[in-house]
Chains A and B, each alone.
Chain A
Amino acid sequence: MSTYEQGIIILIGINIIAVLGVSILTGFTRVFSFGNAGFMAIGAYVSALLSLRAHAPFVAAILGGMAVAGAISWLLGKLTLGLRGDYFLIATLGFGECVRVLFEYLDPITGGARGMPGIPAKTTLPAVTISVVLAILLAWNFLHSRYGRNLMAIREQGMAAEAVGIDTAHYKTLAFVVSAIYAGWSGALYAHYLTFIAPNMFNLDKSAELTITVVIGGLGSLTGSVISTVLLTVLPEVLRAASTYRMLFYGVAVVLIITVRPAGLMGYREFSLAPLHRALDRWRARRLAAGTGAKP
């Protein structure tokens, strides 16, 4: 495999992790945020600083980036998740821009608008592969448990979710923090792959890109998010297109999808309660055998 091909796969992996976070937040909880690039930036810069200044080992640097992103998202979430959809959106957008502006301003620490070079190149193909597998596994387990189910309940009918005892504020915050941690993870890996980061890499375009990717893959489908990330990362490369065409493609694609096939590539599919159905079959079989409609 050539370095170029390896690079593509690493980029796909890094994007998948960030997209998974947004998928949980937007696809499964229906909370729209335009600030997740800001959390990627936090993950990137914190991990880079830990690697460069504190000479921290790779895993520690990544975890540090994730932790800080998570902590800040928890604070932001507490302040803003009570706001209505459009207002929350603007607040997260504002947050993303503030992070970028702040990192540009804190020149002595972050290198300002010129960026921070010299980050150790520790994101190898094996590292990304392990990360992606872990990220998907954790996301899957998270969603196929009462945590994921509660998020979907909140997505469907917030009032009914409360009526069955779900603390919607708590779970929305949880989804937001999870998405931020994933974004931080992605950012940290990105920093140690590119070895150079600058604030304008984590701008509004990037946040929009993450949401668009989830929409195209299908709101409410992890497989959809993974597939669309792969497609949207690979396609422009395959078509030998410059980055401008890539964004143009994104724009047209999302408009097409949302008007013609809003369910995206996968729609609600993939989340199936297959074990529940199997249990149902066994139940029916038992009833048939017992011959009556008696309860256990």
Chain B
Amino acid sequence: MSEVATRRVQCPGLADGEMTSVDVEGEAILLCRIDGRYHALRDLCTHAEQPLSEGRLRGPTVYCPLHGARFDVRTGEVLSPPATEAVKSYVVEEDDEGLLISPSSDED
């Protein structure tokens, strides 16, 4: 996905506590809904590059299914070993036409 562009995706209609993976210009993006708001991360664990969408979402924490690394879906922050790097996160806005996903402002 372009580093600077905002991309629109169809709203996946998730309930709170649900997550899904969507393809955005060839990149797998993890969409999660927490407390009525959508959050988006790259759908790839930074430890061994497994899809986080195959893990579990508990509250704001996603668990990688392979070795159990945990990330905060609101920020991409790494919460546990064996991962040591944050997952790339995106800003998500919801409107009547779906979701707008853009790179977060504190990206390098």
A and B held together in a complex: no
Which residues of A does B touch, CB under 8 Å?
none
